[in-house]
């Protein structure tokens, strides 16, 4: 089963004083992968950049970097994409080895070397590998449990025990604080699940994207009412040195399928932030972000 979506992601910065120079890096172009094809992508930036370059980052994500060299008090970025998503539900239902065997296969000195998974084994700026996370996740990974069954149990526990609270955290909230307070948003739950998995010696990556949401019965879809989303993907080795990635969404307790649009992936949020950069000037600023995801009827 395939689905097509039209995604508009708008970001506006209003600055208190003029910005003299701005250098920005964007992760706003959905990546192509085995289950997804970006059919079109258009980017509008105001003021018009003096320099603009498209490339791929270290994780294979398409990125755009640009420079604005004229004074401005507003930066507006509008990304518009049409994405086709194919079903991948069968991935999570396939057999997987015991989680201890996967940990051993990813350990230092193991052969063959699983380079694809190894880069997502360790701490990163927003993800910690500590015994607190391993201990909290341990009931989900009893001896001999298949890796994917353990990951699903961990996803379900996070969803069951943590409360979604948009005002409880910021991007700077430590993941240990999230574990203690048991509340946060999708980004926090993804970082928590990553911390648990990596603390157990398992490889997992952060996935950013969009989720199709449904309005209440009888009400129209609101323009700009959607938001960016985040979930995780777990690395599952296979015979012969290969491997596959299986996605888990702890915020919603679902296995991502055609309703999830993949934007980018990396070690954590810092690797795939939609827009980040440096400016000269500007003072305080106000930020507005609006995301609209709608089924594309012209498929």
Mean pLDDT over each residue of the chain, to the nearest integer: 93
299: pLDDT strictly greater than 70? no
**72 and 196 fall within a common domain:** no
**253 and 285 fall within a common domain:** no
pLDDT-based confidence at 160, cuts 50/70/90? very high
How do residues 228-257 score in pLDDT, each as one tens digit?
A: 899 999 999 875 556 799 999 999 999 999
How do residues 253-264 score in pLDDT, each as one tens digit?
A: 999 999 999 999
Average confidence (pLDDT) over 155-177: 95
Burial pattern 228-262, b for ≥16 Cβ within 10 A else e, equals bbbbbbbbbbeeeeebbbbbbbbbbebbbbbbbbb
**109 and 255 fall within a common domain:** yes
Pairwise CA distance, residues 18 & 22, whole Å: 11
Retrieve residue 135's tokens.
């201990």
Q: What is the pLDDT of residue 248?
A: 96
**236 and 265 fall within a common domain:** yes
Give this prediction's pTM. 0.94
Pairing status of strand 72-86 against strand 2-26: antiparallel
**150 and 250 fall within a common domain:** yes
**CA-based angle 64:68:69, to the nearest 5?**
150
**6 and 82 fall within a common domain:** yes
91: pLDDT strictly greater than 70? no
**72 and 178 fall within a common domain:** no
Residues 6 or more apart whose Cβ sits within 8 Å of residue 1: 86, 87, 258
**CA-based angle 141:144:148, to the nearest 5?**
55
Please count the residues of the chain: 299
**281 and 243 fall within a common domain:** no
**132 and 204 fall within a common domain:** yes
Which helix (DSSP H) or strand (DSSP E) does residue 160 occupy?
A: helix 147-161
Residue 115, domain extent: 89-271
pLDDT-based confidence at 298, cuts 50/70/90? low
CA 88 from centroid of its chain's CA atoms: 17
CATH of the domain at 45: 2.60.40.2250
Q: What is the pLDDT of residue 224?
A: 46
CATH of the domain at 237: 3.10.620.30
Q: What is the pLDDT of residue 92?
A: 61
**177 and 63 fall within a common domain:** no
**266 and 282 fall within a common domain:** no
**147 and 258 fall within a common domain:** yes
The number of distinct structural domains making up the chain is 2
How do residues 9-62 score in pLDDT, each as one tens digit?
A: 999 999 999 999 999 999 999 999 999 999 999 999 999 999 999 999 999 999
């Amino acid at each position: 089963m395939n689905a097509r979506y039209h995604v508009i992601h708008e970001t506006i910065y209003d600055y208190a004083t003029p910005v003299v120079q701005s250098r920005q890096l964007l992760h706003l172009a959905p990546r192509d992968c085995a289950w997804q094809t970006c059919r079109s992508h258009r980017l509008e930036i105001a003021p018009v950049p003096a320099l603009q370059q498209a490339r791929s980052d270290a994780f294979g994500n398409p990125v755009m970097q640009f420079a604005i060299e004229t004074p401005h008090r507003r930066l507006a970025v509008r990304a518009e994409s049409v994405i086709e998503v194919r079903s991948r539900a069968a991935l999570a239902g396939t057999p997987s080895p015991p989680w201890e065997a996967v940990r051993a296969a990813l350990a230092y000195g193991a052969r063959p070397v699983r380079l694809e998974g190894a880069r997502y084994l360790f701490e990163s700026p927003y993800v910690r590998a500590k015994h607190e996370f391993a201990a909290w996740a341990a009931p989900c990974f009893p001896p001999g449990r298949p890796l994917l069954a353990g990951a699903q149990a961990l996803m379900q526990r996070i969803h069951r025990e943590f409360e979604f609270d948009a005002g409880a955290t910021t991007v700077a909230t430590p993941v240990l604080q999230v574990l203690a307070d048991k509340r946060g948003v999708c980004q926090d739950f993804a970082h928590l699940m990553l911390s648990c998995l990596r603390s157990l010696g398992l490889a997992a990556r952060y996935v950013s994207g969009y989720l199709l949401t449904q309005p209440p019965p009888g009400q129209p879809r609101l323009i700009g009412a959607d938001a960016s989303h985040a979930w995780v993907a777990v690395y599952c080795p296979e015979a012969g040195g290969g491997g596959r990635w299986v996605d888990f969404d702890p915020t919603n307790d679902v296995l991502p399928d055609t309703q999830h649009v993949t934007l980018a992936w990396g070690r954590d949020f810092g690797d795939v932030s939609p827009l980040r950069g440096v400016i000269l000037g500007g003072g305080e600023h106000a930020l507005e972000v609006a995301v609209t995801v709608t089924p594309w009827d012209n498929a």
